[in-house]
């Protein structure tokens, strides 16, 4: 049998952040959200192109 591990009470971590740091993090988050939306749109377009593909057989 394995070892018994006693579960500990979860701890809360408190962090201090300056307003300018928070502003920078929010700006970075917004930029990343826009990039994800752009990439999602590109992927959807690429997937649509794959779905529209119709193979054509040519006999010589």
Q: Looking at residue 28, what is its pLDDT? A: 98
DSSP secondary structure code for residue 9 in this structure: P
Higher pLDDT, 29 or 42: 29
Q: What percent of the chain has pLDDT over 70?
A: 82
Closest CA to 44 of 56, 36, 54: 36
pLDDT at 3 over 90: no
C-alpha–C-alpha distance, residues 44 and 34, integer Å: 15
Distance set, CA 1 to CA 6, 7, 8, 12, 51 (Å): 15, 18, 21, 33, 52
């Amino acid at each position: 049998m394995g070892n018994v591990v006693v579960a500990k009470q979860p701890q809360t971590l408190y962090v201090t952040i300056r307003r300018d740091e928070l502003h920078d993090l929010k700006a970075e988050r917004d930029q990343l959200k826009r990039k994800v939306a752009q990439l999602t749109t590109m992927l959807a377009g690429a997937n649509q192109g794959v779905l529209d593909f119709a193979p054509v057989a040519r006999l010589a």
